Chain A
């Protein structure tokens, strides 16, 4: 029994992990782009971006999952997600990427705006380009600043992936819960908790390591 539960949970957790990794892969760069939009002087761009961030951060991720999965088919009569597991997974991924990109964008914005203007000006008077100033001076300081809030968000993401089951993406809790019905046992659910604990523990160690790596300099 234990082995078959373990096998099922691993299969579910693989899906959890896939959703987690792909969400980070796309939402981190997208978040950076959104944060640039939310900092633009151009009101025509800034206000719509801020409005969008408000909508996404102001509504539950579960609602967004449902709307993104069912919305196109019902409103536009277009089956953009395709059928089966892959279609549901893609819809879940898009919802997660949009949601997390908005949260990340606010963290990036806070980090970028916390860097003193003197850092930019020092780069400017030394003849550096905007791009050089950002990549050679600003970026690493921003990363150092935002590692703690990003680590919070990433650990939340590990657990949020379980919401994908609302559109029937079979992740680890789904698998664990199925044993209640099929075998009348609850311990596989506790077992799923171990998966989350171990994985978030691993991430905590990883972020601790990155923080330590960036300890060699201090920001005023």
Chain B
């Protein structure tokens, strides 16, 4: 059985079908990139995995644990949703750091709050771990800076460290470099690449095609709410089979 199994996810916003019937699965340690034009439903898919949206139908299973199943019709409590969504981390396009906290406090906030209700989290180790993560992100000299004192690339790297601090099973990225200029894009992609080398399980929504090809194992091409084509990323991006995928990728050549 796969590490993550997404089955027949559908999501409507009013009369618009944003996700029509999305199914895919991935193994632990794999990197999946989701590509496609704006409005194809990529972001909504990530938001469904992170419980920021509730799918209208379908199921999500991770490590044999059924996270969501529309056929089991029970409204989830906030507590259950919080627990379930911690399987996933999410890095946003717009970073969304908390402006009133320093880089390291941005990272420590959620783990510290969680440690109060979960005794298995060692509260005294949180800060050391946050510091380690900042070093890993190449930000050892930015520990005590506030978000407005950081460049976009640095902010995004703090955001990645913040997501990693909760040890999610799968780390999701929603166009992590779309708000950055090419120079800053490079430093963020480098960090994600290093995570891939360490076998971090990741789902990356991105418009960086060469990055997707090099870093991810599987590429999923979405269009108008459906998965048009999926497979090994080098095959999909270098030699797509379907006309729609070819059309889309032609913009990136």
Q: Are B94 and A129 in contact (CB under 8 A)?
A: no
B142 to chain A, nearest CB (A): 15
A41 to chain B, nearest CB (A): 16
Q: Are B100 and A217 in contact (CB under 8 A)?
A: yes
Closest 9 CB pairs of A and B: A126-B110, A122-B96, A118-B96, A218-B148, A125-B90, A217-B100, A217-B99, A127-B86, A127-B82
Q: Are A125 and B94 in contact (CB under 8 A)?
A: no
In chain B, positions 82-117 with a C-beta closer than 8 Å to chain A are 82-83, 85-86, 88-90, 92, 94, 96-100, 109-110, 113-114
Pick 24 A–B contacts, CB within 8 A, sort by A.
A116-B94, A116-B96, A118-B92, A121-B90, A121-B92, A122-B92, A122-B98, A124-B51, A125-B50, A125-B88, A125-B163, A126-B109, A126-B110, A127-B83, A127-B110, A127-B113, A130-B78, A132-B113, A136-B109, A137-B100, A217-B147, A218-B99, A219-B99, A220-B99
Select which of A127, A132, A140 is within 8 A of B100 by beta carbon.
A140
B49-86 Cβ-contact flags toward A at 8 Å (1 or 0): 01110000000000000000000000000100011011
Give the CA-CA distance A119 to B162 in the complex, in Å: 14
Other A-B pairs beyond A126-B162, A216-B100, 20, CB < 8 Å: A116-B96, A119-B98, A121-B90, A121-B92, A121-B96, A122-B97, A124-B52, A125-B88, A127-B82, A127-B86, A127-B113, A128-B110, A129-B78, A132-B113, A136-B109, A137-B100, A140-B100, A141-B99, A217-B100, A218-B99
Give the CA-CA distance A217 to B145 in the complex, in Å: 10
Give the CA-CA distance A148 to B183 in the complex, in Å: 38
Q: Are B99 and A125 in contact (CB under 8 A)?
A: no
B94 to chain A, nearest CB (A): 6
Give the CA-CA distance A118 to B159 in the complex, in Å: 12
Give the CA-CA distance A128 to B51 in the complex, in Å: 13
CB closest residue in chain B, given A126:
B110
Q: How many residues of B contact A (CB 8 A)?
A: 28
Listed residue (B50, B82, B85, B92) with the most chain A CB atoms within 10 angstroms of its CB: B82
Residue B211 is within 8 A (CB to CB) of chain A in the complex? no
Residue B3 is within 8 A (CB to CB) of chain A in the complex? no
Q: Are A129 and B92 in contact (CB under 8 A)?
A: no
Q: Which residues of A contact B143 (CB under 8 A)?
A: none
- Residues of chain A touching chain B, judged by Cβ–Cβ distance below 8 Å, are 116, 118-119, 121-130, 132, 136-137, 140-141, 144, 216-220
Q: Are B78 and A127 in contact (CB under 8 A)?
A: no
Q: Which residues of A contact B166 (CB under 8 A)?
A: 126-127
CB closest residue in chain A, given B94:
A118
Q: Which residues of A contact B92 (CB under 8 A)?
A: 118, 121-122
Q: Which residues of A contact B78 (CB under 8 A)?
A: 129-130
B124 to chain A, nearest CB (A): 20
Q: Which residues of B contact A144 (CB under 8 A)?
A: 100
A13 to chain B, nearest CB (A): 37
Q: Which residues of A contact B114 (CB under 8 A)?
A: 127
Q: Are A119 and B52 in contact (CB under 8 A)?
A: no
Q: Which residues of A contact B163 (CB under 8 A)?
A: 125-126
CB closest residue in chain B, given A214:
B100
Q: Are B100 and A124 in contact (CB under 8 A)?
A: no
Q: Which residues of B contact A218 (CB under 8 A)?
A: 99, 146, 148
B125-157 Cβ-contact flags toward A at 8 Å (1 or 0): 000000000000000000000111000000000
